[in-house]
Amino acid sequence: MFIVTGGAGFIGSCLVKRLNQEGIEDILIVDHLGLTEKWRNLTNKLFADYLEKDTFLSLIEKNGLDKKVEAVFHLGACSSTTEQDASYLLKNNYQFSKVLAKWSLAKKIPFIYASSAATYGDGSQGYADNEAEIQKLRPLNMYGYSKQLFDLWILRNKLMDKIVGIKFFNVYGPNEYHKGDMRSLVVKAFEQIQKEKKIRLFKSYKPEYKDGEQKRDFLYVKDAIEIVMEFFKKPKIRGIYNLGSGVAKTWNDLANALFKALGQKPNIEYIEMPEILRDKYQYFTQADLKKLRAAGVQHKFMDLDGAVADYVTFLKDGKYF
């Protein structure tokens, strides 16, 4: 059996689909569906069982899961960068992760978990994923800090050679539809174009960046899950790794790629950024992939235009991956 926490979520459900493509159906999905629409991400997936996260946590704490587990993909977390409830984030993203990691390691089950590029904060410490730099990082929001705490726990307990941690950069693609304000610009802008024939981008508040020229390392979810699968298939690869495309693109680049995929002339309006975001906003992210490449992962990432065009085929028909 394979365990995928966050298996009904964005990256998790795409991973379940990818496992299905490998002929793997003996999957336990762990998540919290609540009142969200993310249950729709599961409708075209094959899996053995589903458990709510609290039920699953209670089960492993009592050592009550008697199945042989091949791997744990721990992708479940509250990923909202604007979440204000620090206690909730610590319980959900940090404490839960510790319990699951201890359980997996005690049973010698491969443990692959999602960290985040949000741990890098404003980027002043760079984006190198080496162990010596982890303690220097200063996240800009509580979400990033909750992820940072677990990375530090792994480091303090000298578990780097026993786990795989993945610092995901800006992932976008099908199955993110339920995420509300946390959806990527691609899906939000697609809806804007459908209604108003234009895209709104935040203005810049730093003179060195023109409006819309803030940069991100955009990663298509299909590329992301290929790397996750490669980590699983290559058990000698252990440690915490960046996962982005390795190329920083501007929001204008992303908007123009979407207009191109839709066969429309670019029409961009620059709007004020909410004040709650201004002092927590990353103006530049770019994954340093030297460590990933040195580990033997040579995956060729889709270029931005090609990835956005592929995503548009899902958005036009409301399809799920």
DSSP strands (E only) in 120-255: 163-168, 170-172, 199-202, 215-216, 218-220, 239-243, 249-250
For the chain, the residue count is: 321
Token readout for 61 is 């704490």
Q: Indicate whether 71 belongs to any domain.
A: yes
pLDDT at 316: 95
Please list, in sequence order, all residues whose beta carbon lies within 8 angstroms of the beta carbon of residue 303, skipping any fewer than 6 positions away: none
| 140 plus 204 within the same structural domain | no
| 206 plus 98 within the same structural domain | no
pLDDT in tens, the chain (321 residues): 999 999 999 999 999 999 999 999 999 999 999 998 999 999 999 999 999 999 999 999 988 888 899 999 999 998 887 788 899 999 999 999 999 999 999 999 999 999 999 999 988 889 999 988 899 999 989 999 999 999 999 999 999 999 999 999 999 999 999 999 899 999 999 999 999 999 999 999 999 999 999 999 999 999 999 999 999 999 999 999 999 999 999 999 999 999 999 999 999 999 999 988 888 788 999 999 999 999 999 999 999 999 999 999 999 999 999
The one-letter code for the residue type at 109 is I
Please state, in angstroms and as integers, the Cα–Cα distance from residue 159 to each residue in 94, 239, 248, following that order: 16, 8, 31
Q: Indicate whether 313 belongs to any domain.
A: no
Q: What is the model's pTM?
A: 0.95
Query: Which residues are paired to 115 by β-bridges?
Result: 167
| 272 plus 132 within the same structural domain | no
Q: Indicate whether 319 belongs to any domain.
A: no
| 73 plus 183 within the same structural domain | no
C-beta of residue 201 within 8 angstroms of C-beta of residue 270: yes
| 54 plus 129 within the same structural domain | yes
Q: Indicate whether 85 belongs to any domain.
A: yes
* CA distance between the termini of the chain: 22
Please list, in sequence order, all residues whose beta carbon lies within 8 angstroms of the beta carbon of residue 319, skipping any fewer than 6 positions away: 174, 313
Q: Indicate whether 156 belongs to any domain.
A: yes
| 257 plus 233 within the same structural domain | no
| Cα gap 15→68, rounded to integer Å | 20
Q: Indicate whether 93 belongs to any domain.
A: yes
| 181 plus 120 within the same structural domain | no
| 198 plus 295 within the same structural domain | no
Q: Indicate whether 44 belongs to any domain.
A: yes
Q: Indicate whether 272 belongs to any domain.
A: yes
| 148 plus 209 within the same structural domain | no
Catalytic residue (choose from 98, 107, 162, 179): 179
Pairing of strands 49-52, 215-216: unpaired
| 109 plus 7 within the same structural domain | yes
Q: Where residue 154 sits, what CATH number does that domain have?
A: 3.40.50.720
Q: Torsion-angle region of residue 175: left (phi > 0), alpha (psi -120 to 50) or beta?
A: left
Catalytic residue (choose from 143, 145, 220, 241): 143
Smallest CA-to-CA distance from 109 within 164, 57, 154 is with 164
Token readout for 290 is 């030297």
| 238 plus 253 within the same structural domain | no
Active-site residue flag, 311: no
| 168 plus 274 within the same structural domain | no
C-beta of residue 113 within 8 angstroms of C-beta of residue 165: yes
Structure-token match 């690869």, residue found:
237
Domain residue limits at 188: 177-215+248-278
CA 191 from chain center: how many Å? 22
Q: How many domains is the chain built from?
A: 2
Residue 11 CB: number of other CB atoms within 10 A?
A: 26
Active-site residue flag, 50: no
